[in-house]
Structure 1
Amino acid sequence: MSEKISVNCQAKLSEAITCLTTMYRDKKFVVVSLRPGKDRTLDQNSLWHGMYKRISQMTQIGEPDDARRYCKLHFGVQILLNEDAGFQAEWYRVMRHLPYETKLAMMGECHLFGPDGFPVTSLFNRAQGVQYTDRMSAYFTGQGVVFTDLLGEVAA
């Protein structure tokens, strides 16, 4: 049983303390890991899904899931290849030799990696998530896709 709680208000702090107390009382051994900062946010995930939808509406790429697979492969993988030596080594060992269509398909729901597909965006930190957003925006804006309303909501 693993629990992850982001503490950003007094109520969440109380929830975390209660959870820790309950686990300790029940199990007597608890591993706690703390760090300051934010995870890749729900806002970021929501923005990406909105962008995938917009891409699917304004291009011939297909459905939002097709846009998601495309973006993960073309933008997300490149970010991780550039910034994560471990990811790069494993990608080159396991995935590089596969045909493009197979890699693209594996970015979405599949039996091997589950409903989210090959892990890419789930490995991002916040800065990598911002890069991913910027790369998607720059590329698809050049294709005529308009994101100003979506990106404006995040900035507000």
Structure 2
Amino acid sequence: MTDKISVNCQARLSEAITCLTTMFRDKKFVVVSLRPGKDRTLDQNALWFAMYDRIAKSTEMGDVEDVRRYCKLHIGVPLMRGEDPEFRQGWAESFVHLDYEVKLRLMGPCAMFGPDGFPVTRLFNRAQGCMYTDRIVDEFGPKGVHFADLLSEVAA
């Protein structure tokens, strides 16, 4: 059992203390790791979902989840195949032979991989996350989807 709590307000601090107290009372042994700073994945995820939403509203690709699946498969998977030999080998052994529709479906919520679908973006390090963002802009910017306002919020 592992819990991760980002503390960014008094309520979240209280939640963390309660969780720690409960776990200690129940298990008697608890390992605690602390580090200062924001969880960068929360910021990146928020940006990506805002981008998916913008793409969905600006194109005829479907809803946010359709766009998310598309981006994971068409942008995230090639990025990871190029960056990670183990991912590339696993993809080749397990997924390359599947029909396109199956691959696309597995990128979203499914029984096999849970609510987030096949792990792609959650495997990214910071640099890969930035490349993913840039590639989304590169693909959809020329199609008339504008992201300047979303990207300027991240830079601020």
* Same structural fold, with TM-score higher than 0.5 when normalized by the shorter chain: yes
SS of equivalent residue, structure 1 residue 41: helix
Cα distance in 2 for partners of 1:92, 1:60 equals 31
Contiguous gaps of at least 5 residues in structure 2: none
Aligned pairs (5 A) from 1:96-135: 96-135=96-135
Query: What's the CA shift for 1:31?
Result: 4.0
Identity percentage of aligned residues: 66
Per-residue CA deviations over 1:47-93 (Å, capped at 9, x if unaligned) read: 11111111111112111111100000011111211122221111111
Evaluate the alpha carbon distance shift between residue 117 and residue 11 of structure 1 in structure 2; reply closer, same or farther with a 3 A threshold: closer
Query: What's the CA shift for 1:27?
Result: 2.5
The AA in structure 2 aligned to 1:66 is: D
Evaluate the alpha carbon distance shift between residue 16 and residue 130 of structure 1 in structure 2; reply closer, same or farther with a 3 A threshold: same
The AA in structure 2 aligned to 1:88 is: R
Moved more, 40-49 or 134-143: 40-49
> Where does residue 95 of structure 2 map in the other structure?
95
Per-residue CA deviations over 1:85-138 (Å, capped at 9, x if unaligned) read: 221111111001111111111111222212211111111122211111111011
Cα distance in 2 for partners of 1:118, 1:139 equals 22
Evaluate the alpha carbon distance shift between residue 97 and residue 4 of structure 1 in structure 2; reply closer, same or farther with a 3 A threshold: same
Give the alignment's TM-score, normalised by structure 1.
0.82
What is the RMSD computed on CA atoms of the aligned residues?
2.6
Evaluate the alpha carbon distance shift between residue 99 and residue 149 of structure 1 in structure 2; reply closer, same or farther with a 3 A threshold: same
Q: Does 1:47 align with 2:47?
A: yes
Aligned pairs (5 A) from 1:117-156: 117-156=117-156
Contiguous gaps of at least 5 residues in structure 1: none
The AA in structure 1 aligned to 2:142 is: G
Query: What's the CA shift for 1:6?
Result: 4.4
Number of equivalent positions: 156
> Where does residue 65 of structure 2 map in the other structure?
65
